[in-house]
Amino acid sequence: MDARQLKVEAARAALAHVTDGMRLGIGTGTTAEEFVRLLAEKVATGMTVIGVPTSERTAALCLELGVPLSTLEETPELDLTVDGADEVDPELTLIKGGGGALLREKIVAAASRRMIVIADLSKMVETLGRFPLPIEVNQFGLRATEIAVSAAAENLGLSGPVTLRMTGGQAFVTDGGHFILDASFGRIPDTRALSNALHAIPGVVEHGLFIGLASAAIIAGGDGIQTVHAARKPGSSTDHDVA
């Protein structure tokens, strides 16, 4: 099976969790797009769902394929979000934002009772950090924020290049009008500590570590589909239902 087929299989398995009348968060990226295509086929044959897209790109595809859309303003509580990821660890902590949509993706996931991650096996890692961590930052004070990010990481024993994401010779600008810094810190043993440290920097809008948001990950590999469920930790700060 090629990489695209694996994405389709993961998306197909996630679609089995979608039922009539659901309010759905719809992710961004090539894997999420496969989900949109399959969802559109269901909608065409009578399934009624309403989707809240996590990016303008996803919104455009949904509109093109006839998936009915709402906004988080109109529909602030969602039943399920289905989204891809750049990395998934065994606890279902994620790195997201490779497609630049991490802020809306996190807001939508947090507004959902459940989040199912769809990915191919190459995204599963023991420890997050092989994929550079996307950090969405305000355009104002970019250089100061960059320095503060590196300093915060260094305090945690992390280091590596922090680079401004570019596209076509220009800084990449997110749907929210912000820049993205890609931080190549390598292995991130304490994701919670890094998350807290980044959130303490005023110029940081959001970062791509998703902690306690995913309820399940559907992982497609050459040997078939594997579903990993989030462990419910006593006293966990998330009250999201598992898939």
Ligand X SMILES: O=C(CO)[C@H](O)[C@H](O)COP(=O)(O)O
- Note the residue count of the chain: 243
CA pair distance 128, 151, nearest whole angstrom: 20
2 is in an annotated binding site: no
Task: Single out the segment in contact with ligand X by CB under 6 A; choices: 57-65, 90-98, 144-152, 194-202.
Answer: 90-98
104 part of the interface to ligand X, by CB under 6 A: no
User: Can you spell out the DSSP letters for 152-196?
Assistant: HHHHTT----EEE-EETTEE---TTS-EEEEE-----S-HHHHHH
Among residues 9, 87, 105, 146, which one is catalytic?
105
Q: Give the x-and-dash track for 11-50 against ligand X (CB under 6 A).
A: ----------------xxxxxx------------------
222 is in an annotated binding site: no
Strand order from edge to edge, sheet including 209-210:
87-88, 94-95, 209-210
Residues 100, 129, 132, 212: which binds ligand X (CB under 6 A)?
A: 100
107 close to 152: Cβ distance less than 8 angstroms:
no
71-104 b/e (C-beta count within 10 Å ≥ 16 → b): ebeebeebbbbbbbbbbbbeebbbbbbbbbbbbb
127 is in an annotated binding site: no
9 part of the interface to ligand X, by CB under 6 A: no
In terms of CB distance, is 146 or 206 closer to ligand X?
A: 206
136 part of the interface to ligand X, by CB under 6 A: no
Is 105 a catalytic site residue?
yes
28 is in an annotated binding site: yes
- For the annotated catalytic residues, the residue numbers are 105
- Contacts with ligand X by CB under 6 A lie at 27-32, 83-86, 96-102, 105
